[in-house]
């Protein structure tokens, strides 16, 4: 999430497609529905694949495929086109680590502008401890053409996610209709990455990467996620997850889970993915599919909601609990400055309490 959980708005123009719990009747109904939809989806998907393969030849040096958008719009925003997109398959292959893990962030015009969040994000990898090399595995998913161009100027792996009829370029205000669509589009896209067979770390770009996170991940979890508030037990479903940072391994379980998460948006209209995750995390369906969820300690994966207190431990810091682009930029700039001082300081590195993060506007 770009912002803290809690705020939410109801949209009156949407009706819940379901009511009540996720019981077995519902389940069976869903299965039948899903199979029928799958069948319906196969024919157009083949056509689209054929079409995009054709048009792709005209844009050999660019991953941007303008002709895909007209195809997409006929099918609405919620398409599974990305899975069939050869440009996506190619860029995933190029960016992935040897174990098929890729770091993914999404970018829109407002966050991509010069001196905005994206620059700070890229800069953090440069001044983090041994994080520079991770940029070789970062895939930036641009939500509009300006963001795509900006990505190409600063980074090597950029991909445009075509989402016709929606303008994601401006600062989408927290919980606005466009904001919600952007968040849900992201969940659908990440599901397709898992479907293609890649593991990912999803990271918002208002998260500063200060250390390599891999040593802090749980080796056996399917889905591990950072928290706004961490209560001390990584298994405890009562932790407050933050959708802005998670590490997900591609498997049948995680693909099923992402589908379930995405489909649950109809059950909770007007809620963003993080709120819905908080509701579905207790759902028996999660246990049925055997998904192993773990919550990441804010000592390593902190944020303005709950900062990593020890600079010797921190891996990432998120500008969560902070509303407004200017406030985020202001405080993240200070945070990177604090980090730079810490890294270049010849003084005692074990004496770095919370107070070593400077006062900020956020919080």
Residues lying near ligand NAG in the complex (CB under 6 A): 129-130, 343, 348, 350-351
Output the six-digit token pair for 59: 């844009």
Residue 43 or 351 with smaller CB distance to ligand NAG: 351
Instruction: Pick the closer one to ligand NAG by CB: 22 or 137.
Output: 137
Closest CB to ligand NAG among residues 182, 311: 311
Contacts (Cβ under 8 Å, ≥6 apart) of 21: none
Neighbouring C-beta atoms of residue 140, cutoff 10 Å? 28
Write the burial class of residue 299 (CB in 10 Å: 0-12 exposed, 13-18 middle, 19+ buried): middle
The terminus-to-terminus CA distance of the chain in angstroms comes to: 16
Cα gap 299→311, rounded to integer Å: 9
**CB 101, min distance to ligand NAG, A:** 19
Strands (E), 84-154: 101-107, 138-142
Closest to ligand NAG by CB, 19 or 348 = 348
Contact 344, 288 (CB under 8 A): no
DSSP 3-state assignment of 329? helix
Q: Which H or E run includes 301?
A: strand 301-303
Q: In angstroms, what is the minimal distance from the CB of 352 to ligand NAG? A: 9
CA angle 83, 1, 302 (to 5 degrees): 120
Minimal distance in Å, beta carbon 207 to ligand NAG? 18
Our separate counts of H helices and E strands in the chain read: 12, 10
CA pair distance 253, 169, nearest whole angstrom: 33
User: For the chain, what's the residue count?
Assistant: 363
What's CA 147's distance to the chain center, in Å?
Answer: 16
Query: Computed from CA positions of residues 186, 189, 191, 193, in that sequence, does the dihedral angle turn out positive or negative?
Result: negative
Q: How far is the CB of 337 from ligand NAG (least distance, A)?
A: 16
**Contacting residues for 25 by C-beta, under 8 A, at least 6 apart:** none
Q: Which is nearer to ligand NAG, 67 or 129 (CB)?
A: 129
Residues 67, 105: Cα–Cα separation, whole Å:
24
User: Between 131 and 278, whose beta carbon lies closer to ligand NAG?
Assistant: 131
User: Which C-beta is closer to ligand NAG: that of 57 or that of 350?
Assistant: 350
CB of 324 to ligand NAG, least distance (A): 31
Closest separation between CB of residue 192 and ligand NAG, Å?
A: 34
CB of 242 to ligand NAG, least distance (A): 24
Q: Hey, how many other C-beta atoms are within 10 angstroms of the C-beta on 139?
A: 24
Looking at beta carbons only, is 17 or 343 nearer to ligand NAG? 343
Instruction: In angstroms, give the least distance from the CB of 360 to ligand NAG.
Output: 22
Task: Return d(Cα 268, Cα 6) in angstroms, integer.
Answer: 15
Q: Which is nearer to ligand NAG, 105 or 316 (CB)?
A: 316
Of 124 and 160, nearer to ligand NAG (C-beta) is: 124
Minimum Å gap between C-beta 336 and ligand NAG is 15
| Cβ at position 213, least distance to ligand NAG in Å | 13
């Amino acid at each position: 999430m770009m912002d803290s959980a809690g705020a939410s708005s109801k949209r009156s123009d949407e009706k819940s497609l379901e009511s009540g719990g996720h019981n077995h009747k519902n389940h069976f109904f869903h299965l039948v529905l899903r199979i029928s939809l799958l069948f319906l989806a196969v024919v157009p998907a083949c056509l689209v694949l054929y079409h995009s393969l054709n048009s792709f030849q005209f844009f050999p040096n660019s991953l941007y495929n303008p002709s895909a958008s007209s195809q997409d719009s006929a099918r609405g925003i919620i398409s599974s086109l990305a899975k069939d997109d050869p440009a996506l398959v190619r860029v995933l292959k190029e960016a992935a680590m040897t174990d098929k893990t890729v770091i993914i962030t999404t970018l829109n015009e407002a966050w991509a502008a010069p001196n905005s969040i994206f620059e700070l994000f890229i800069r953090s990898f440069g001044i983090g401890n041994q994080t520079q090399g991770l940029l070789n595995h970062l895939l930036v998913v641009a939500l509009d053409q300006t963001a795509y161009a900006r990505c190409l100027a600063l980074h090597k792996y950029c991909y445009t996610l075509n989402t016709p009829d929606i303008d994601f370029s401006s600062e989408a205000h927290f919980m606005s209709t466009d904001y919600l669509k952007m968040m849900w589009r992201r969940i659908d896209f990440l599901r397709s990455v898992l479907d293609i067979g890649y593991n990912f770390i999803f990271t918002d770009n208002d998260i500063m990467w200060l250390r390599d996170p891999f040593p802090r991940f749980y080796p056996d979890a399917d889905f591990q996620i950072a928290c706004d508030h961490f209560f001390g037990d990584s298994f405890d479903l009562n932790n407050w997850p933050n959708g802005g940072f998670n590490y997900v391994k591609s498997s049948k379980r995680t693909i099923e889970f992402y589908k379930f998460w995405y489909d649950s948006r109809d059950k909770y209209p007007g809620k963003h993915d993080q709120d819905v995750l908080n509701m579905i995390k207790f759902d028996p369906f999660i246990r049925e599919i055997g998904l192993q969820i773990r919550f990441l300690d804010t000592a390593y994966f902190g944020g303005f909601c709950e900062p990593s207190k020890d600079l010797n431990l921190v891996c990432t810091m998120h500008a969560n609990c902070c509303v407004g682009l200017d406030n985020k930029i202001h405080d993240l700039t200070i945070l990177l400055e604090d980090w730079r001082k810490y890294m270049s300081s010849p003084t005692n590195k074990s004496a770095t309490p919370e107070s070593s993060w400077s006062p900020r506007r956020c919080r």
